[in-house]
Structure 1
């Protein structure tokens, strides 16, 4: 557990502690960790004993991974989960990330339990590796015909469950809650990614689109519909967020001002109008344009350059920036 924590820290020493907590548990779950590993992970992150009551069975782990010999005198903070409850044994004032650690521990245990004893079977319906026959069998249990029209909605894993069939599942972008919808309705919470309407036996296509759409949400657009992405959805599906193309890396390395200059160069009708928009002298902007062309490996003002920029800027939003190389002192855009 400690080795994994050190690797995550090395990816981005400046990442917030809360982000590290989320990444830590997501990594464990996606790797197939069991309840004991999750408890040991919570203890390693918090520096105190972590415990769980799973259907009346008490399990506790100290930061060194061993079962503590002392009795459990305090459960703070504590959080309920589907099989019971989880907690940290922190005496005195809580630390800043105690609540986050307990929340992610509870969520991760829920996901592990769902994998071991699937109730809804949605993981079969959404899994592209399953055969059509396997998905059809599970659809029948959900009282759905293969040709029924459905869409999948992706929300944060801690989003409130609804009466519709839902499950918390791992994805290439972390843990996400999937909800199967048979009628057009408001998403259960925001942010939300809406998958395309498809036949029920093509559910993996809608699920994939929903996950991508959720990743593209932002404050100004808390709900994104995968259908609105058009051909960009094909581009997103071909993208590997862990091994981004060099065009994406080049954008990620730019500082804030260079990013602003590049956007103006791409969007403005002329170099002079871009300079006026940025409040820069024409000759100064020309020099910045030449430097950016060398750094990017293409001219962002040509037709093909604008397409490359637009594609890279779109895929940058789907990229795990912790794995993207940046020079010292660079800031994300």
Structure 2
């Protein structure tokens, strides 16, 4: 009987301790503290080094019991189990950080001795508080993202629940619009994102053939030369990505950044089978004209402006010289370029011919 009473007294003490731990983290969550504050509070409560690691950003936060950052970046326990921590200490206990049933990171304690009786409760609440902080604060405002996570967001084969989880992990609120841009540039994507996306969050990833930017808004006039980009509309990221890939195909040296909503009916050209484009007589004539790059540049300027004088200003030539060249180009194409119908046919043929140089966006986005 005395032994039972002794066990019950210890059990009662453990329950009261667990309740205090739960109340401690409930207070921290109500105060909406960030990751460093959570790690600092956890280290003080556990009286040993406490750490957090987020898988998506590889961010590691380690704090000592006296509230200072722990030396080094050791102690980042991953899915494979505890690893040696800074100073030779071992990670004594870990717990996964779960958000929407997906593991997004790990929390741990670096206790020099065996785990404490309340360590499982402490780590469970620590992980829960970190998940809430990540959901609330989100990742860094502008950063390169995991390409696999970005592909989940923009892919046509992604179910909406998975897309929503991926967006949340990237820091996008479910009620905010997202635009997607397809970018070709030698410049770092994170640098371009910082230039063209005025509002966070901004996420960038490089896929095998093109760069991707995701943001609430993307300023077409801020892209640095010589980048080329297509910008999709706001809304469903899958649709926006498909629009961005289409718009990128229309980008040229003269018009390096294209918004899909500015294409209007021209976007229909993207759906014409390439063989049908090649067989069109006007497009075939443009192909023959391409052997003379100066003629092609002159036609491009004239189609863009609809005016001999304005084309001459763009090309820094006398307008009479441009007039003679346009007349000669018209004879080559078999079109009267001084007439609206002839100019329209030339402009459409020139655009369609350029699309042959760039493979169409996949039908699934």
Q: TM-score category by the smaller chain?
A: 0.3 to 0.5
Structure of higher RCO (CA pairs closer than 8 Å, 6+ residues apart)? 1
**TM-score normalised per structure 1:** 0.43
Larger Rg: 2
